[in-house]
Amino acid sequence: MIQLYYKGATADVVGAHGLSEADFNQVGQKVAHAHQAVCDQIAAGKLGYADLPNRKTYRDRVGQLVAKYKAKTTDLVVLGIGGSALGNIALQTALKPVTYNLIDDAQRGGPRLFVLDNVDPCLVSDTLDLLGSRLGSTVFNVISKSGETAETASQFMIVREMLRAKLGKDFARHIVATTDEKKGTLHDIAKADGYDTMPVPEDVGGRFSVLSPVGLFSAAMCGIDTDKLLAGAAAMLKQLEPHDWRKNPGTMLAAITWLMFNKGKPIQVMMPYSNRLYGLADWYRQLWAESLGKAKDRAGKDAFVGPTPIKALGTTDQHSQAQLYREGPNDKLVIFLEAATHPRELTVPDVFGDVAGLSYLRGTKLSALLQAEKVATEYALAVSQRPTVTIRFDAIDEESVGAFIMYYEFVTSVAGELFNINAYDQPAVELGKQATFALIGRKGYEKMAADIQPFAKPDEKYVLR
Ligand code: PA5
């Protein structure tokens, strides 16, 4: 399914900027403990995300609703943000053609999918306008664990009123709510209005929830084989159990990222050589940033840790970022994603044989060119002593994508142990959410609104015109 190749991060390749046997030996015990702690938490049922492949009730509920809606739905619009959207986008972009929404209704094999993960008025208005006469065959899947996130809530209110105005009493048949099973604002409204609902698992944080109904419903509606996705995730978890950490791809990647962070490489660039895999880099950015970017360690002491995850696309960003990555500060670990096979292929035709600058390309498969460019970048970075690792997908299919998701969630857990922080909360995100409530005038947030005032209105002294 997937494998880790890490030679490019070793001292053999990048000298003092890489990891030596001494580095690995020094960290061995710490990594072994971290791995044991994560395995113990999984065995004790404390890491809900690891159990998602086993949760038949979720699969059944998703299956019921897909059976109910798929045939009569031309358009599916997800309303959600962060962990309630990025996984949906990653699955769709990895496993469906880039032109999916442009394919004829009869050929596509599922509804068009739009994920509205922002409150940009253009994004929301343009998408709602596009639905036009298809509104009667559109389903809106509103996803919010808390049920009160301002972005999702405001979109939901706009959509609900639009549906009520245009479809009358039938409006509730066009909304499926994915939220807390037992409580919360969205839960209560769904019940009162009579929407179909799916649960967001109580024991799984948003950014770890893609393999729950949060991500599975839109995927299954669009024809992604979610059983295979979950099978890939389950198989990967098994692969991550064995305890020789030097041979375990999960513990090794967690150790490398932790060591690199402490070796003056606080930036980690995920660079897929595949447009299909690019959405996974976005998903990873949230997983890594919210899980590992923490001010306090688990003893409450100042920590201020967390690698900064950024994304780049190969080959596109070779022509945009590579200059910086090779000659700028040597403060990055590049994590390549590559695929052994791609779902599509094209070969450069046998033309321009007499044009010296082009003839070498004749007969080259685009996948071979893409791969050559990846190796070329890996080599060029190594020449500049820039460390890299590669995660190789055997194929871009459901099993490998499911495996990658479980892999990175597990790596995040082990890295959380190494950094000695709580990888499952996001206090800084919560403050931003509350400040939004205060600024928009939600009751109960008056004190915070007063504190924010200096930020709400520009101080003229510092405005230049
Ligand atoms: O990972 C997280 O917890 C966050 O990114 C949330 O997913 C995001 O803020 C959306 O929250 P909610 O699903 O409660 O609307």
Task: Provide the pLDDT for residue 456.
Answer: 84
Q: Which tokens in the block code for residue 426? A: 């996001």
Could you give the CA distance from residue 153 to residue 116 in angstroms, rounded to a whole number? 12
Q: Which atom, in ligand 1's list, is nearest to the CA of 149?
A: 15
Which tokens hold the place of 388?
Answer: 């890299």
Distance CA 362, CA 31 (A): 48
3-state secondary structure 156-186: HHHHHHHHHHHHHHHHHHHEEEEECCCCCHH
Residue 319 designated active-site: yes
Q: Give the span between the Cα atoms of 395 and 322, in whole angstroms.
A: 26
User: For position 432, what pLDDT does the model report?
Assistant: 86
Q: Is 296 a catalytic residue?
A: no
Ligand 1 centre to CA of 308 (Å) is 19
Q: How far apart are CA 78 and CA 55, in angstroms?
A: 23
Class (C level, CATH) for 2-41+230-419? alpha beta
293 token code pair: 């970017």
Q: Please name the fold of domain 56-200.
A: Rossmann fold (3.40.50)
Q: Which one of 151, 290, 378, 417 is the catalytic residue?
A: 290
206 lines ligand 1 (CB under 6 A): yes
Distance 61 CA to ligand 1 centre (A): 22
Could you tell me where in the chain the CATH 3.40.50.10490 domains are found? 2-41+230-419, 56-200
For residue 314, the SS3 value is coil
86 Cβ closer than 6 Å to some ligand 1 atom:
no
pLDDT tens, N- to C-terminus, the chain (465 residues) = 999 999 999 999 999 999 999 999 999 999 999 999 999 999 999 999 999 999 999 999 999 999 999 999 999 999 999 999 999 999 999 999 999 999 999 999 999 999 999 999 999 999 999 998 899 999 999 999 988 899 999 999 999 999 999 999 899 999 999 999 999 999 999 999 999 999 999 999 999 999 999 999 999 999 999 999 999 999 999 999 877 899 999 999 999 999 999 999 999 999 999 999 999 999 999 999 999 999 999 999 999 999 999 999 999 999 999 999 999 999 999 999 999 999 999 999 999 999 999 999 999 999 999 999 999 999 999 999 999 999 999 999 999 999 999 999 999 999 999 999 999 999 888 888 889 889 988 999 999 999 998 888 888 999 999
Residue 187 in contact with ligand 1 by CB distance below 6 A:
no
pLDDT at position 457, please? 86
- Cβ(412) to ligand 1 under 6 A? no
Residue nearest to atom 3 of ligand 1 (CA): 206
Taking the CA of residue 82 as reference, the ligand 1 atom at the shortest distance is 5
38-44-48 Cα angle (round to 5): 75
426 in ligand 1 pocket by Cβ < 6 Å? yes
Q: In 278-311, which positions are buried (b, 16+ CB within 10 angstroms) versus exposed (e)?
A: bbbbbbbbbbbbbbbbbeeeeeeeebebbbbbbb
Report which residue type is found at 308.
Answer: T
Determine the distance separating the centroid of ligand 1 and the alpha carbon of 84, expressed in angstroms: 6
Phi and psi angles of residue 306, each rounded to the nearest 5 degrees, phi first = 130, 120
pTM of the entire structure? 0.95
pLDDT, position 453: 87
Positive or negative torsion for Cα 364, 365, 366, 367: negative
Report DSSP letters for 363-401, one per residue: T-BHHHHHHHHHHHHHHHHHHTT--EEEEEESSSSHHHH
* d(CA 433, ligand 1 centre) in Å: 10
DSSP for 200-242, written as a single string: PPTTS-GGG-TTSHHHHHHHHHTT--HHHHHHHHHHHHHHT--
What is the pairing mode between strands 175-179 and 138-144? parallel
Distance of CA 146 from the midpoint of ligand 1 (Å): 7
Whether 205 is in the pocket of ligand 1, judged by its Cβ within 6 Å, is: yes
Does residue 209's CB lie within 6 angstroms of at least one atom of ligand 1? no
> What local confidence, expressed as pLDDT, does residue 54 receive?
96
